[in-house]
Amino acid sequence: MDTTGSGPSTRNSDSAMANTGNDQRPATPTGRILSRSEIQSEKSLAEFLVQMDDYAPIIPEALTDYYLAQAGFECSDVRIKRLLALATQKFISDVATDAFQYNRIRQQASKEKKFHSKDRKTVLTMEDLTAALAEYGVNIKKPEYFS
């Protein structure tokens, strides 16, 4: 048995309890040793943030800054703001795609009932948008009408 701590009998494949021998892995600020998968994840995140330097988001940065300030978010790193803008863009795209699918389902149902017209435009309705947002946990109520 190797008692120096550098032999293969003292190393674990994914987690290490200490930096011993040839197994030098970075630790978190709290002193916890990172596993190899966590190190790879950190490297991927760092590479992605470097790519965000050249990314021009579809959502204007002024709009992103305004709503982040309204939410109380303060960050001077423009890459993080662009990352949040990208996540917002993805969310809006997913909701719009889901709403479009609900619209197509509704149109197919009306074709079966013989109520179809040629060259019909696709219109985003509150009914489709409500159904799409419900999948993401966002509930929309129709406005109450007062008489």
Token pair for 106:
């509704």
Residue 129 is assigned to a structural domain of this protein: yes
Residue 15 is assigned to a structural domain of this protein: no
Residue 113 is assigned to a structural domain of this protein: yes
Which residues constitute the domain of residue 51? 35-134
For residues 33 and 19, the answer to whether their CB atoms sit within 8 Å is: yes
Calculate helix-pair angle for 78-112, 36-51, nearest 10 degrees: 90
Give pLDDT < 70 ranges for the chain. Answer: 1-29, 31, 112-119, 146-147
23 vs 16: CA distance, rounded Å: 8
Amino acid identity, residue 110?
S
- Residue 61's Cα: distance from chain center in Å? 18
Residue 50 is assigned to a structural domain of this protein: yes
Residue 130 is assigned to a structural domain of this protein: yes
84 vs 68: CA distance, rounded Å: 9
Number of domains in the chain: 1
Q: How many Cα atoms occupy the beta-carbon half-sphere of 136 within 13 Å?
A: 16
Residue 103 is assigned to a structural domain of this protein: yes
Q: Tokens 């917002």 label which residue?
A: 88
Residue 145 is assigned to a structural domain of this protein: no
Nearest to 78 by CA among 96, 95, 60: 60
Residue 52 is assigned to a structural domain of this protein: yes
